[in-house]
Amino acid sequence: MLRKSTLALLLGTFLASPLLAEEPKKEYKPDPLILKIKPILEQHCFPCHHDTKRSAGISLKNIFMGINDTKALMVRDGKVWMNAVKQIQSGAMPPSGEPRLSLEEHETLTKTINEILYSSLNANNPGRVVMRRLSHSEYEYSVLNLVGVSYDANEKFPSDASGGKGFDNFASTLFLTPLKMERYYEAAEEIMDEAYSKPALWEKIVPENYADSFWLKIKNWVLSFFTTVDPNEGVLNAATEVIVPFASHAYRRFLEPAEKEKLLSLFLKVYEGNDAEDRYGVALKETLKAVLVSPNFLYRYEEEQPVPIDHPYALSNFELASRLSYFLWSTLPDKELFDAAYRGDLEDPAVLKLQVRRMLQDPKAKRFAESFSTQWFGVSRLKDTNPVDPGRFPEMTPSLRNAMYQETVEYFYHVLTKSRNFLELIDSDYTFLNEELAKHYGIAGVKGSAMRRVTLQDRNRGGVLGMASVLTSTSLPLRTSPVLRGKWVLEELLGTPAPPPPPDAGQLPEKAATDPNASIRDLLVLHRSKPACAGCHQKMDPIGFGLENFDPIGRWRTKYGAKPIQIVWDTLPSGETFRNPAELKKILVTKEDEFARVLSEKMFVYAIGRDVGFTDELHIQRLTKHLKQNRFDTEKFIMELVSIEPFRYKVNDKGAKFKVLASK
């Protein structure tokens, strides 16, 4: 046995071994920039933004944990910190009633946060875009351009998930479920059966009926005498001249050899396996159905690099052509755009701009005007549903709802292609009306059901804030809602949303909805007297009350029953006052910074199909600056948008360290 002294010696040596020695703690060296702002945040921000209180859902706990990667956490939540800077600069934070920042604290806090955030940004980072399925409208227009068949995808397909930042082409909501795949098969059947049954449509797909041509019959009869020659060779050659161009158009690129072989094999299998009188046509129809259910058609596929790379790479010309066409036309590239991609011309910025100009002048650009504007302004539901109570508002007929919807579409399309000034979305002296909508507005002299440009004598109307589509969509079923209307302006035109209401905010009394003489003003004065509600309502209510002369379906009114409507109820947070919607719009038009940014973000999301992240900040600033420098010119702005890296480049390595892009 070991002596006790020997055991003790061995045990002491073992315990002193580096294997068991406690690893020395790394000395924490706080970042100097964090140290500059920590005491200011602790005094003015932490009391309301910690794990227990979390005002506006924000906690600053990580700033005070003493961890080494505080800067990294701030960058990760960059959009939150950017919004914090905006709130501090506007004076909204700290909120009224709390100790104000000194001039030195204000400057230190805003400059340091910006320094931390912007030092992490790289203008050459295009962000990650995932492969996405065609939206319902994109599917519908693609089929129309490919086959000539009008197929109502919104009616026949299951609804897509919500949450796409307001747009139906948002990649993360375009799931493919078993039910939807089943409907795609049914749709392909219906579409090709309709095309096959209508000679005019079928001849568009099959320019010449080779199966019935005298030449093909003679050739097949001659070939049958030679055992070394496939008697179906002539038929297969004829089918190739139809299938390959059709599939190339549908897939938005040239076919791979294996894809071509697979489709032609399917054609030959069907051709040889049936005895129909027109077995050539039947075989073609079945093959083209296969194209319509292929992921290459249903998805906007963009090739990934075979191995992870540490820098962005340019889209192929065909992929760029597809992004352009679905952005501005909601459909496949046409022949001119496809040919430009084939030649590689889209790499030339001058050619890219020429294509944008051509596409905006094409009538198909109205699809973009409709899709983007009605989803941005939240009026798309008017097309299918009645948002107000039909008993209270029997005037809200389907035809009137359609006219309201069309006013928005025609107006935006005119701004996009004719006036070319996005600021006219806020204010102008014209709109688009037909007879029914003109009567609804109390405007005489408009006859007929067609929408046409009408010059307005009353400037309370012009722009989206005077449109019944927007005014109805921001009302409740039984009454107007200054809160909803004010919230809509803050979010959709100024990009400065108020935080969500506190859990104990409550609702307005029910009599506000049932009594036509009720003063919404008096009820809201009572509601916003709650300390928890006052801050948000001071931002929303003045704007909402500026639109209170418009009733729940957008008609002009001057009274709640017998009680006059008084507009000057409060001032805007920035201090301006106004007496009517026309004066409110004049104020909003001056908010160019806010409007340029929200427009840039909205169109960025729509064009690229993903949300704006903090890493996109330099691109958004570039677009915002371009809008202001070019006086909100629509065509120049879209040319700029398709020129930025996120539109022309991609990356497939999520952890890539981005290198500087070669100039194009």
pLDDT digits (tens, 9 = 90+) for 644-658: 999 999 987 443 333
Q: Which residues contact 282 (CB under 8 A, 6 or more apart)?
A: 270, 271, 274, 276
Contact 607, 167 (CB under 8 A): no
Q: Out of 37-51, 96-110, 445-459, 495-509, which region has the weakest mean confidence (pLDDT)?
A: 495-509
Q: What is the DSSP string of 440-453?
A: HHT--S--SSS-EE
Does residue 308 lie in a domain region?
A: no
pLDDT given for residue 15 in this prediction: 46
The Cα 283–Cα 261 span in angstroms is 15
In which band, very low, low, confident or very high, does the pLDDT at 214 lie, cut at 50, 70 and 90?
very low
My answer on whether 442 and 494 are in the same domain is no
Among 126, 119, 49, 120, which residue's Cα sits nearest to residue 88? 49
Q: Are residues 496 and 585 in the same domain?
A: yes
Residue 122 has pLDDT above 70, yes or no: yes
In angstroms, rounded to a whole number, what is the distance separating the alpha carbons of residues 416 and 198? 37
Examine the domain organization and report whether 101 and 154 are in the same domain: no
**94 and 217 assigned to the same domain:** no
**In the listed set 425, 447, 473, which residue is the last one of a domain according to the structure?**
473
Half-sphere exposure of 4 (CA within 13 A, CB side): 0
Minimum mean pLDDT range among 19-33, 289-303, 547-561: 19-33
Q: What pairing do the DSSP bridges indicate for beta strands 299-300 and 132-133?
A: antiparallel
Q: What is the mean pLDDT of the chain?
A: 84
**pLDDT recorded at residue 564:** 85
Q: Which of the residue ranges 178-187, 568-577, 590-599 would you say has the lowest mean pLDDT?
A: 568-577
Q: Tokens 């352009």 map to which residue?
A: 324
pLDDT in tens, 433-471: 999 999 999 999 999 999 999 999 999 999 999 999 999
- Bridge partners, 559 (sequence order): 564
Q: What is the DSSP letter of 657?
A: -
pLDDT tens, residue by residue, 366-411: 999 999 999 999 999 999 899 999 999 999 999 999 999 999 999 9
Question: Is the bond preceding 94 in cis, omega lying within 30 degrees of 0?
Answer: yes
Residue 330 in domain: no
Above 60 in pLDDT, residue 523?
Answer: no
Say whether pLDDT at 77 is over 60: yes
Return contacts of 303-311, CB within 8 angstroms, 24+ apart. 304/652, 305/652, 305/653, 308/652, 308/653, 308/656, 309/651, 309/652, 309/653, 309/656, 310/653, 310/656, 310/657, 310/658, 310/659, 311/651, 311/656, 311/658, 311/659, 311/661
Range of the domain at 488: 481-590
Domain count, the chain: 4
Q: How far apart are CA 260 and CA 277, in angstroms?
A: 26
650, 128 Cβ separation under 8 angstroms: yes
Are both 398 and 492 inside the same structural domain? Answer: no
- Would 540 be classed as within a structural domain? yes
Please, which residues have CB within 8 angstroms of residue 5's CB and are 6 or more apart in sequence? none
Residue 116 confidence (pLDDT): 84
Same domain, 464 and 513: no
User: Which of residues 300, 315, 346 is at a domain's end?
Assistant: 300
Number of C-beta neighbours around residue 628 at 10 A: 13
Same domain, 167 and 276: yes
Average the pLDDT over 226-241 and give the result. 71
More reliable by pLDDT, 578 or 8? 578
The sign one gets for the Cα dihedral 447, 449, 452, 455 is positive
Residue keyed to tokens 């040239």:
254
Q: Is residue 456 part of a domain?
A: yes
143 and 110 belong to one structural domain: no
Same domain, 76 and 138: no
More confident residue, 16 or 626: 626
Q: What percent of the chain has pLDDT over 70?
A: 81
Cβ count near 333 (within 10 Å): 25
Question: 408 and 488 share a domain?
Answer: no
Q: Which of 80-94, 170-184, 344-358, 484-498 is predicted least confidently?
A: 80-94
Of the three residues 300, 320, 348, the one that is the final residue of a domain is: 300
- The percentage of the chain sitting over the pLDDT mark of 90, rounded to a whole number, equals 55
If asked whether residues 442 and 487 sit together in one domain, one would say no
> Per the domain annotation, does 162 fall within a domain?
yes
Least confident of 86-100, 303-317, 409-423, 650-664: 650-664
Average pLDDT of the segment spanning 621-645? 98
149: pLDDT strictly greater than 70: yes
Same domain, 468 and 490: no
**442 φ/ψ sector (left φ>0, alpha ψ -120 to 50, else beta):** left
- Residue 220 pLDDT exceeds 60: no
Q: Is residue 321 part of a domain?
A: no
For the ranges 51-60, 325-334, 526-535, the lowest mean pLDDT is seen at 526-535
Amino acid at 355: Q
Mean pLDDT of the 503-510 span: 56
Ordered DSSP codes for 41-78 = HHHHTTTTSSTTT-GGG---GGGGTT-TTHHHHHHHTH
- Name residue, tokens 């204000």: 106
Interior angle at CA 379, CA 322 and CA 158, nearest 5: 60
Specify the pLDDT at position 14: 43
Considering the domain boundaries, does residue 61 fall inside one?
yes
CA distance 246 to 503: 57
Residue 403 or residue 531, greater confidence? 403
The residues with which 430 forms a beta bridge, in sequence order, are: 455
Q: Residue 254: which H helix or E strand, with range?
A: none
pLDDT for position 70? 72
User: Has residue 343 been placed in a domain?
Assistant: no
How would you class 447 by CB atoms within 10 Å of its CB: exposed for 0-12, middle for 13-18, buried for 19 or more? exposed
pLDDT of residue 161: 72
Helices 233-251 & 257-272, crossing angle to 10 degrees? 130
